[in-house]
Chain A
């Protein structure tokens, strides 16, 4: 028998004091005051531990309260006007809607029409990148005094068919380690992210030359391959390429995150 259970055993055998419950109630009532006094008076490592514990308790409590609040809201909602959105015909009602999030809904197009602006990009302003940040000068020649060669220090997209020029003529080097073929593209309305192939760099806002080189920095518009999402145009053709804007700094993160422009 564990040592601490003698108390329980004693209680089982002899019962409890007549005023136990009253004492317990009083102790519980005093508990808040005791905790407050403790919080005021503790110092040093003891205070730190105490506060951490207290913070955890409070967070859990808040969560529980919010949960109850949500439950109340849902149960008290009148049943009559609970007509769901996204009506489906009877033959689709029992079907799994796993492909659902992949379909571009009509509402998106309407919203785009209402907004008016054609290029309403997620990141309207991006920091311009100067050439000396973008390129590293490479010294060549026997005496290392020729300085016409540049190495791109940012992430690039290089097309499938690209072959490097001979070293004598290659002015810009795009390092293999910084070449990317895929991007993580988020559909802003469906809140889902897909890993899609890059088709090309549409525009790098810093400079037309960067666009030509296929440099991908924050704010760059890239074209991605959305054929597997099953988007369809009005005339019933499959949409192949769509534009997306890069939202992170790929050279720092090692991946490209982008938002689809719809």
Chain B
């Protein structure tokens, strides 16, 4: 990175710093045509990393990503070249998830549309819930059926693996919730909601090692916290005035719930009382995710650990807590962000709303969609937010500022579901038009089109180790995708 050869007009002054504001080296004079690759090399040298790590670079105030060269980014952000350009670097995942290219297994078995599919946190099992009232388990490696769990009386609408992968919770349209033991494959029924259950969420692993508590949200406008150890309802969270659409148990020990009454409520799970109610959206709130979503999804299994590599070994609670704090600090500087998508065609980005004295105003209101937003997803490193809408597009937003980045067009039907790859470089979307599509974040292009379903795709999930993805839908098939 010596700049003796360059003349004054082709270089610029930069200052590299991390997301927390830690400066790396002094002010440097670098050529304008430096690519992100060259900047990475320079940064690795400055930070004295033994092994070169990948980084992504952003211009500081505007958060313009440096994609091609420094010059392009400076011109798009319309910054003057006289001042020192502040460049923020964020570490990228060392691991690269290989893009999905083919369908390795089409698993028939369900007699009705498959409504929900999910990987277990250790990525060994796939669970699917269907309109034929059964939950089926498939082995992820062997791609064979493992078990059929019968017991529900109506469509299975929601599934959630406990963070230690020992239990599976399922909920159905008649309002009942069941918890299945994954070793014996037997289930216990919990008493039920009065209307159908929309979402399930377990308590994060770093808050409780034994994974006993589970929260369910329902159409009957209540949430219930279940104690799965003795199959009782521990708390009834009432306060919403319309159906609750999503529930998230945050790593900070509170519960967020989004509802069709246009509010997002924050609950204290110990008392069962709402601590805050935020009324900002103009219509139903459909979806909600946290910047720490991926870490919570991994549960006790650090599938893609930066240091250890692929490690299916179970963590302890302390390790999990450590990992959670680390991830939070790295991605968002220690603050928990939350994004919500609504029927009013907008998204809102929130920061630390679990704090009682925190801000009740969103960081930004993200507009641009022309139809309702059905699903939002934070990338695992918290860098991006993706949103899926019924206007057939997937939009990409900056994870820190909420600034609009890009629109992925290509689907010819409403986009139902989104899932990020573990490294945050790829995004998979499932649509009404019977296809799944994989989008590349670096090139901002369609990486791979995955046709094969013969009807609407209702659900999609990417395993936490990034090796395979599962999609399923109205054609009753469960498809496993592989690189």
Contact = CB atoms under 8 A, between A and B. Distances in A.
Do the two chains belong together in a single complex?
yes
Interface of A: 80, 83-94, 103, 105-106, 109, 230, 232-238
Contacts of A90: 115-116, 157-158, 196-199, 245
Nearest to B156: A87
B84 interface: no
Interface centre among A80, A90, A230 (most CB of B within 10 A): A90
Given A106-B475, A232-B433, 4 more contacts: A86-B113, A91-B374, A91-B375, A236-B449
A88 B459 CA distance: 11
A87 B131 contact: yes
* Secondary structure of the B contact surface, majority rule: loop
A82 to B, nearest CB: 9
B451 interface: yes
Contacts of A235: 435, 449, 451
B452 interface: yes
B421 interface: no
Interface string B452-483: 11111011000000000000001100000000
Contacts of A89: 115-116, 157, 416, 458-459
Given A83-B133, A87-B112, A105 B455 contact: yes
Contacts of B280: none
B260 A238 contact: no
A87 B431 contact: no
Interface centre among A84, A91, A230 (most CB of B within 10 A): A91
B411 interface: yes
A251 to B, nearest CB: 38
Interface residues of B, number: 46
A91 B196 contact: no
B454 to A, nearest CB: 5
Contact of A94 (B197, B243, B431): B243
B121 to A, nearest CB: 21
B154 A91 contact: no
29 contacts: A83-B133, A83-B153, A86-B113, A87-B113, A87-B130, A87-B131, A87-B132, A89-B116, A89-B157, A90-B158, A91-B198, A91-B245, A91-B287, A92-B458, A93-B173, A94-B243, A106-B455, A106-B474, A109-B454, A232-B412, A232-B434, A234-B434, A234-B451, A235-B435, A235-B451, A236-B413, A236-B434, A236-B435, A237-B412
Contact of A232 (B155, B287, B413): B413
B452 A234 contact: yes
A173 B158 CA distance: 65
A234 B287 CA distance: 28
Interface string B138-179: 000000000000000111011000000000000001000000
Contacts of B260: 94
